Amino acid sequence: MNFQESNSFHRVADIGEIADPGKTLVDVDGEMIALFHVGGQFHAIDDVCTHDGGPLVDGELIDHKIACPRHGAKFDIRTGAALSMPAVRATRSHEVKIEDGGVWVRLRNESAPLGPAAHTIGTVPAAPSGASQNPLADTASTPTATPTSPTPDPISALPLSEDGIREMLKQVKDPELFVNIVDLGLIYGVTIAASAEATGRQHVSIDMTMTSPACPAGPQLIGDTKRVVGSHADVAAVEVRIVMDPPWTPDRMTEAARDQLGIF
């Protein structure tokens, strides 16, 4: 590879050096960039999967899509857009030009934009004035006109069984995907045992995984899980164990999650 600089473009390869279709890794100003040659056109994106930082250039290239070899997220090589789970954020794309028989790349400095599914969540949406602050308010009954009627507790109304706890956990949503952790396939197991400390109440242990070991939402998901299940009247304590084996894969998602994320 021949590296020269022209203005802010860097010559990274000769045109004939990369097969069509083909891909290679190039160094542009100290950054590792995945360079693609498809249909007579060259495209350049960061060699970084936005799910968990995996390198992209070793993945399978199909038309204008590159699949991350780690967990299968797909990106559009023309724009860097994230096309499938578990990535929701675009990777950076860069300018490419052909000149003097060479391929030239100019880095774009702006951060990759958030994908459409990204939300600032985990934060419970603000309730309208006067409405309940209960995060389960959308499933609670409409308040009646009788001021003395107690508001039903929808969590404590659920049976304290594995199915009931999975139902409770549908209230806990991934802050980037806005899909609940049950439908994402993050709950590996639920164990319920009599509490040693509180007679008549239960100790709940939940085995949970993350979509990646470095998932930034992990502490929030653990905290929300403890808060929701711990609000059941018969629960004395909630323990969350993070399990990374077997690792999470997108095929653990339910049809409901796939529909919500637009994956077919």
Give residues in contact with ligand FES (CB under 6 A). 49, 51-52, 54, 68, 70-73, 86-87, 212
DSSP one-letter string for 5-50: EETTEEEEEEGGGS-SSEEEEEEETTEEEEEEEETTEEEEEES--T
Q: How far is the CB of 103 from ligand FES (least distance, A)?
A: 25
Q: Which residues face 156 on adjacent strands?
A: none
Q: How far is the CB of 62 from ligand FES (least distance, A)?
A: 15
Q: Which residues face 38 on adjacent strands?
A: 41
Strands 202-208 and 235-242 turn out to be: parallel
Our CB check for ligand FES shows the closer of 59 and 135 to be: 59
Q: How far is the CB of 252 from ligand FES (least distance, A)?
A: 14
Our CB check for ligand FES shows the closer of 36 and 104 to be: 36
Our CB check for ligand FES shows the closer of 218 and 230 to be: 218
Our CB check for ligand FES shows the closer of 75 and 104 to be: 75
Residue for token pair 């993050």: 186
Q: How far is the CB of 54 from ligand FES (least distance, A)?
A: 3
Task: Give ∠ CA 3-7-9 in degrees, rounded to 5.
Answer: 50
Helix (H) or strand (E) holding 222: helix 218-230
Our CB check for ligand FES shows the closer of 194 and 244 to be: 244
Tokens of 69: 């070899």
**How far is C-alpha 248 from the geometric centre of its chain's CA atoms?**
11
Tokens of 70: 């780690």
Our CB check for ligand FES shows the closer of 54 and 102 to be: 54
Q: How far is the CB of 89 from ligand FES (least distance, A)?
A: 11
Q: What are phi and psi of 74, to 5 degrees?
A: -110, 145
Q: How far is the CB of 116 from ligand FES (least distance, A)?
A: 18
Helix (H) or strand (E) holding 192: strand 187-194
